[in-house]
Amino acid sequence: MTTAPANLLAVRRLLLTYLNVDKDTVRPEDLEPAEVGIVGDASHRGGYHCGSDRVLPDDYSVVESPRDRDGLTLYASALDVGPFEVKANGRTHDLRSFSNWCVAQCVAGAPDTRDLREIVYSPDGKTVRRWDRLGKRTSGDSSHLYHTHFSFFRDSTKANRDQTPLFRRYLTSIGLIAPVTPEPTMEQTDKLINDTGYPNRTVGDVFADLQNLRNWLISPVGTAGLISRPPAASPLGLMLTAAQGWPALVAQVTALSKKDFTDEQAIVAGILATLTPQAIAAAIPPDIADKVADELHSRLAA
């Protein structure tokens, strides 16, 4: 069943948002929802308003371009826009001026028109013309005196490629959408706005500082060629000095950890030096004092 693709529904919503001024009342000067169509009615057969289930044999909307043959799906690939009249910036804009503007963009090769196959329109409400990217046709039937038909190559609807930029540009050009103000560019020669204590510092100076800081932080200790070393007494300078001394400190700790600092003889001598005869006698329990005295007597007698 032929259905409306999301990208053309987005175009429809965009146009109705800005050209259907009074959304609660049907007015001849407004672009009403019923006047913006994508899928043909049930009896419609053939052409870009039909998907693969409703195209005809040798349908021009399929066979004349590989973009259409390869892009054929159940999606319709056309948009009809009905009459409207809107005032903006002191000027009146309507279906005729809208159609002429869109055709002029196609003729000029604007990038956001690359997916448009054709526009069937009336430049003056009296004659019908067709802009055809493939150059196959130059006119259309009289119904296009009252609406403008946009055909999109089917591969663009199959890919769901955004088609709103062209129509957004139109709405911006007539003043219904405020133009986007470009952000100011930043040059490396621009001076910093806020006070840093150095009034002549520029954006380029800041970038250089950041790059130098990066180099100091990621480069191995002792790497040659690093510029703008921070002053020795600055916090970063002290950190760098400590970092440079770190390998030597690690080596010293490693060497010390491999040494045996235990001197058993010195320990025994130190303990014995504190043991006086009185201290030794006081430490001997009474129940073995006689045995110790006998043992010492026998050793001395020997």
pTM, to two decimals: 0.63
pLDDT number for residue 226: 66
118 alpha carbon, distance to own chain's centre: 34
pLDDT number for residue 227: 66
The H helix count followed by the E strand count for the chain is: 11, 7
- Residue 145: strand, helix, or coil: helix
pLDDT number for residue 221: 62
* Average pLDDT per block of 10 residues along the chain, 302 residues long: 97 97 94 96 94 96 97 98 95 97 98 98 97 97 97 98 98 93 82 82 85 76 65 76 78 79 75 74 80 81 74
Residue 91: beta bridge partners?
A: 88
Both tokens assigned to 160: 């769901």
- Could you count the other beta carbons within 10 Å of the beta carbon of residue 204? 12
User: CA-based angle 64:66:67, to the nearest 5?
Assistant: 105
Q: Report phi then psi at 257, rounded to 5.
A: -70, -20
The 3-state secondary structure of 197-252, one letter per residue: CCCCCEHHHHHHHHHHHHHHHHCCCCCCCCCCCCCCCCHHHHHHHHHHHHHHHHHH
Would you kindly state where each structural domain of the chain is located, as residue ranges? Answer: 6-173, 203-257, 264-301
Both tokens assigned to 235: 């916090």
d(CA 33, CA 118): 22
